[in-house]
């Protein structure tokens, strides 16, 4: 068997092999080396020349563009002054190295991006972490370098089973699915996170984890939950005196150190309806109540205020029926305790508190209306029944003494007088019914108010003389004409006069005035009667409303007269007002009716 030819073997190997003499001439080159040298660039040849000059072994990598390949070149000096060049294709290795560098660069950029928390855990110790995660857990890079961040010590006990499940997953599959847990921060507080990871090394076990801070989401969930609970508290009763203290207590238990609710009552006075405070709070850190001047500013501007230092508080207007009905004041002993989301939360609470006030107001009004309706029905029943008794008495008199002319006349007078009283009651009921249904018709024509007033005075004069009440007239001249329904206007004056006679004690005085103020005719009825309390003045012309029943029932009547007066006057385009300095100070009623020029009235 012939001996193997070494040159032939070397020419067939996959690596390049070439031998250069001392003049850089080729004395041997295999096929691979020939292909490498054929397309070599100037930089490569310069490197070979430098190698010959240094006459020392060197290793270098070079990218051969003509072949699009990377080669590792190793030179070995020869005794004759030349050198041997060994070339190996390392393109695959370089690609892996480039991919690894790119991967490391991506990881570095992920770590430094501070978009998401990144950490590396090895044998239960956090060995690498970016700033986001360190901020998340309230630790420093010194804590990280000194290996003080231990997974187990940072995890509350209730999450041990979830962590055990994650370790089982990563041992079985090399990855664990994201799950929610909490870490204990350096200051002892907790931070909720969503964390997932993948194994990057098996021995020792190393895990790359990504963590998302869920604090904002938890706070949003808590705010929504608190909003629902606050809504339930406010809807639990129509009595704000009960629900507002419960609301203040709940807010203190969840979001604040103190809470005060100021509400404007029916007398337009600002009252402190509810207050609550977290206990215990040291006197030094206790947030004080806002000053009434500040509360007044919120009431007038209807704009919220937020202060974040040295303590934090929010003042939120409570809107009801499109006006400020009160102020919700919440405070914390910590600075920067509230943010824009909290401000929105308190604004919603303020709106719902305003709605609760509206509902409470409507409930009270409905109760008052029902009570007034019951009182009105009782009064109507009484007033309708009262004239029937003397009518029946007159009938009994006629049957008992049918032949006695004096008894006959007295009985007829009794029956007639009480029948007229009952007719007046029914007429008042019909008038108020027509007014409410919009069916009250007016026969509009030019009228003489002086004549109307005199006729009304004559109508009530028997009643006034019976009580020795003096009625005086001051009838001025009008430069214009009032257009109206004479009968209805006489009814207005009669009702006002009858009301004054009814509530003026014996020996009193009533003054009726007619005068002109600019383009209006004014009728004034002034008496020296029992007067009207200030609290009742706004309601004096409302139907189903009467002053103190213990006083008014002594005088009888349905209490509809003034309601009819207001409707009739307003139907004529006028207004009516009442004034009184209080009990036993008399009353003044002013009716204003529009005047028209005489020429204009003639055309009409």
Select the more confidently predicted residue: 25 or 281: 25
Total count of residues recorded for the chain: 604
Report whether 506 contacts 574 (CB < 8 A). no
Q: What is the pLDDT of residue 365?
A: 85
The DSSP symbol for 348 reads H
Q: Longest Cα pair distance anywhere in the chain, in angstroms?
A: 179
What share of the chain in percent tops pLDDT 70?
89
Strands 509-517 and 520-527: antiparallel
Mean pLDDT of all residues in 233-244? 91
Indicate whether 31 pLDDT > 60. Answer: yes
Report whether 208 contacts 197 (CB < 8 A). yes
Q: Residue 550 — very low, low, confident or very high, per pLDDT cuts 50/70/90?
A: very low
Long-range contacts of 189-196 (CB under 8 A, 24+ apart): 189/138, 190/156, 191/136, 191/137, 191/138, 191/215, 192/217, 192/218, 193/117, 193/136
Indicate whether 567 pLDDT > 80. Answer: yes
Q: What is the pLDDT of residue 181?
A: 94
Mean pLDDT of all residues in 162-188? 93
Q: Residue 554 — very low, low, confident or very high, per pLDDT cuts 50/70/90?
A: very low
Mean pLDDT of all residues in 399-423? 81
Burial class (CB in 10 A: 0-12, 13-18, 19+), 259: buried
Indicate whether 249 pLDDT > 60. Answer: yes
Q: Residue 480 — very low, low, confident or very high, per pLDDT cuts 50/70/90?
A: confident
Which tens digits make up the pLDDT trace of 279-311? 765 555 566 677 888 888 988 899 999 988 888
Domains detected in the chain:
6-89 (3.30.450.20), 107-213 (3.30.450.20), 221-367 (3.30.450.40), 441-603 (3.30.565.10)
- The CA–CA distances, whole Å, from 123 to 132, 177, 205, 471 equal 22, 19, 6, 108
The residues that bridge with 515 in the sheet, in sequence order, are: 522
Q: Rounded CA gap, 129 and 208, in Å?
A: 10
Mean model confidence pLDDT for the chain: 85
Which tens digits make up the pLDDT trace of 113-130? 667 888 999 989 999 898
Burial class (CB in 10 A: 0-12, 13-18, 19+), 42: exposed
Select the more confidently predicted residue: 291 or 215: 215
Indicate whether 604 pLDDT > 50. Answer: no
Peptide bond into 280 cis (omega under 30): yes
The structure tokens 């029914």 sit at 426
Helix (H, G, I), strand (E, B) or coil at 17: strand
The DSSP symbol for 555 reads G
Indicate whether 576 pLDDT > 60. Answer: yes
Report whether 133 contacts 115 (CB < 8 A). no
Return the H-helix or E-strand segment holding 84: strand 83-89
Select the more confidently predicted residue: 431 or 419: 419
Q: Rounded CA gap, 450 and 436, in Å?
A: 29
């Amino acid at each position: 068997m012939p001996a193997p030819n070494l040159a032939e073997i070397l020419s067939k190997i996959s690596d390049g092999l070439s031998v250069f003499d001392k003049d850089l001439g080729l004395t041997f080159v295999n096929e691979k080396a020939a292909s490498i040298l054929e397309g070599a660039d100037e930089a490569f040849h310069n490197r070979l020349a430098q190698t010959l000059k240094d006459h020392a072994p060197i290793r270098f990598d070079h990218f051969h563009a003509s072949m699009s390949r990377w080669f590792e070149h190793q030179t070995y000096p020869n005794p004759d002054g030349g050198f041997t060049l060994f070339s190996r294709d390392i393109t695959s290795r370089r690609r892996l190295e480039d991919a690894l560098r790119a991967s490391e660069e991506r990881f570095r950029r992920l770590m430094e991006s501070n978009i998401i928390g990144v950490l590396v855990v090895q044998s239960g110790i956090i060995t690498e972490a970016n700033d986001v995660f360190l901020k998340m857990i309230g630790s420093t890079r010194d804590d990280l370098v000194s290996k003080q961040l231990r997974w187990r010590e940072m995890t509350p006990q209730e999450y041990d089973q979830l962590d055990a499940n994650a370790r089982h997953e990563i041992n079985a599959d090399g990855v664990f699915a994201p799950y929610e847990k909490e870490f204990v921060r350096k200051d002892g507080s907790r931070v909720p996170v969503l964390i997932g990871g993948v194994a990057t090394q098996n021995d020792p076990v190393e895990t790359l984890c990504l963590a998302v801070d869920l604090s904002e989401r938890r706070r949003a969930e808590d705010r929504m939950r608190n909003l629902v609970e606050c809504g339930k508290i406010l809807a639990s009763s129509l009595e704000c005196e009960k629900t507002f203290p419960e609301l203040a207590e709940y807010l203190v238990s969840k979001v604040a150190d103190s809470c005060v609710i100021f509400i404007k009552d029916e007398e337009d006075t600002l009252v402190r309806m509810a207050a609550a405070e977290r206990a215990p709070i040291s006197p030094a850190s206790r947030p004080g109540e806002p000053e009434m001047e500040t509360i007044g500013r919120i009431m007038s501007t209807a704009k919220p205020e937020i202060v974040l230092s040295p303590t934090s508080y929010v003042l939120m207007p409570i809107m009801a029926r499109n006006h400020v009905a009160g102020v919700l004041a919440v405070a914390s002993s910590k600075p920067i305790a509230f943010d824009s989301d909290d401000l929105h939360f308190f604004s919603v609470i303020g709106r719902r508190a305003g709605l609760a006030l509206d509902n409470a107001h409507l409930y009270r009004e409905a109760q008052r209306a029902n009570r007034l309706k019951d009182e009105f029905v009782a009064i109507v029943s009484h007033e309708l029944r009262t004239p029937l008794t003397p009518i029946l008495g007159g009938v009994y008199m006629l049957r008992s003494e049918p032949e006695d002319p004096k008894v006959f006349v007295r009985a007829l007078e009794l029956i007639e007088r009480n029948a007229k009283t009952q007719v007046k009651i029914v007429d008042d009921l019909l008038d108020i019914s027509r007014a409410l249904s919009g069916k009250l018709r007016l026969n509009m024509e030019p009228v003489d108010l002086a004549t109307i007033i005199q006729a009304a005075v004559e109508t009530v004069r028997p009643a006034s003389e019976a009580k020795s009440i003096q009625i005086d007239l001051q009838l001025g001249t009008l430069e214009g004409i009032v257009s109206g329904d004479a009968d209805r206007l006489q009814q207005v004056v009669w009702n006002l006069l009858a009301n004054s006679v009814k509530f003026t004690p014996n020996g009193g005085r009533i003054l009726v005035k007619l005068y002109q103020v600019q383009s209006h005719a004014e009728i004034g009825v002034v008496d020296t009667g029992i007067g009207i309390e200030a609290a009742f003045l706004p309601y004096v012309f409302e139907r189903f409303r009467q002053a103190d029943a213990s006083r008014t029932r002594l005088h009888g009547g349905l209490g509809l007269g003034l309601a009819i007066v207001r409707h009739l006057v307003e139907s004529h385009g006028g207004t009516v007002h009442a004034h009184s300095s209080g009990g036993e100070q008399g009353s003044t009623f002013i009716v204003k009716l529009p005047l028209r020029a005489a020429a204009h009235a003639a055309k009409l």
